[in-house]
Amino acid sequence: MTFEEIKLRLQKKTVGIAGAGGLGSNCAVALVRVGIGTIVIADFDVVSEGNLNRQYYFFDQIGKPKVNAIKENIQRINPMANVITWDLKLDPQNLNRIFRNCDVVVEAFDNADQKEMLIETILTAYPEKPLIVGLGMAGWGMNDTIHVRKIDNMYICGDEVSEIHNELPPIAPRVGIVANIQANVVLEILLKD
Amino acid sequence: MKIILNNNPETVDVDQISITELLRRKNYSFKMLIVKINGKLVKKDEYEASFIKDGDDVMVLHLISGG
In angstroms, the CA A138 to CA A155 distance is 19
Interface contact A135-B64, CB threshold 8 A: yes
Residue A48's pLDDT is 98
Interface contact A151-B36, CB threshold 8 A: yes
Interface contact B41-A120, CB threshold 8 A: yes
Name the β-bridge partners of B42. B35
In angstroms, the CA B6 to CA B9 distance is 8
In angstroms, the CA A123 to CA A184 distance is 21
Amino acid at position A58, single letter: F
Touching A: B residues 4-63, CB under 8 Å = 31-34, 36, 39, 41, 43-44, 59, 61-63
Name the β-bridge partners of B52. B17
Residue A116's pLDDT is 97
Interface contact A110-B64, CB threshold 8 A: no
Q: Looking at the domain assignment, is residue B17 inside a domain?
A: yes
pLDDT in tens, A134-149: 999 999 999 999 999 9
Nearest Cα to Cα of residue B64 among B21, B19, B30, B37: B30
pLDDT band at A44 (very low <50, low <70, confident <90, very high): very high
Which residue range is the domain that position A160 belongs to?
A: 3-190
Give percent of chain A above pLDDT 90. Answer: 99
Q: What is the mean pLDDT of residues A114-120?
A: 97
Size of interface A-B (CB pairs under 8 A): 71
Query: What chain A residue is nearest to B6 in terms of C-alpha separation?
Result: A151
Q: How many domains does chain B have?
A: 1
* Three-point CA angle A70, A119, A143, nearest 5°: 65
Q: How many domains does chain A have?
A: 1
Amino acid at position A174, single letter: R
What's the length of chain B?
A: 67
Q: Looking at the domain assignment, is residue B58 inside a domain?
A: yes
CATH, residue B47: 3.10.20.30
Produce one character per residue of A68-86: b if its CB has 16 or more CB atoms within 10 Å, e if not.
bbbbebbeeeeeebebbbb
DSSP state letter for A23: H
Residue B29's pLDDT is 83
| B31: exposed, middle or buried (Cβ count in 10 Å: 0-12, 13-18, 19+) | exposed
Q: What is the 3-state composition of chain B as percent helix, strand, coil, each rounded to the nearest 5? A: 15, 40, 45
Residue A23's pLDDT is 98
Q: Are strands A82-86 and A38-42 parallel, antiparallel or unpaired?
A: parallel
The answer for residues whose C-beta is within 8 angstroms of residue A193's C-beta and 6 or more apart is none
In angstroms, the CA A56 to CA B63 distance is 24
Helix (H, G, I), strand (E, B) or coil at B30: coil
pLDDT in tens, A54-84: 999 999 999 999 999 999 999 999 999 999 9
Q: What is the DSSP string of A85-110?
A: EE-S---HHHHHHHTTT-SEEEE--S
Query: What chain B residue is nearest to A121 in terms of C-alpha separation?
Result: B43
Q: What is the mean pLDDT of residues A24-45?
A: 98
pLDDT in tens, B34-66: 999 999 999 999 999 999 999 999 999 999 999
Task: Specify the higher pLDDT residue, B47 or A193.
Answer: B47
* Three-point CA angle A174, A160, A40, nearest 5°: 65
Residue A13's pLDDT is 98
The answer on pLDDT for B30 being more than 90 is no
Q: Looking at the domain assignment, is residue B10 inside a domain?
A: yes
Task: Specify the higher pLDDT residue, A114 or B31.
Answer: A114
Rounded to the nearest angstrom, the minimum Cα separation between A38 and chain B is 22
Q: Looking at the domain assignment, is residue B67 inside a domain?
A: no
The interface predicted TM-score of the complex, written ipTM, equals: 0.92
pLDDT in tens, A72-115: 999 999 999 999 999 999 999 999 999 999 999 999 999 999 99
Residue A193's pLDDT is 74
Which residue range is the domain that position B11 belongs to?
A: 2-62
Q: Looking at the domain assignment, is residue B28 inside a domain?
A: yes
Residue B43's pLDDT is 94
Helix (H, G, I), strand (E, B) or coil at A177: helix
Candidate from A13-27, A33-47, A74-88, B19-33 with smallest mean pLDDT: B19-33
Interface contact A21-B67, CB threshold 8 A: yes
Residue A80's pLDDT is 92
Amino acid at position A82, single letter: N
CATH, residue A74: 3.40.50.720
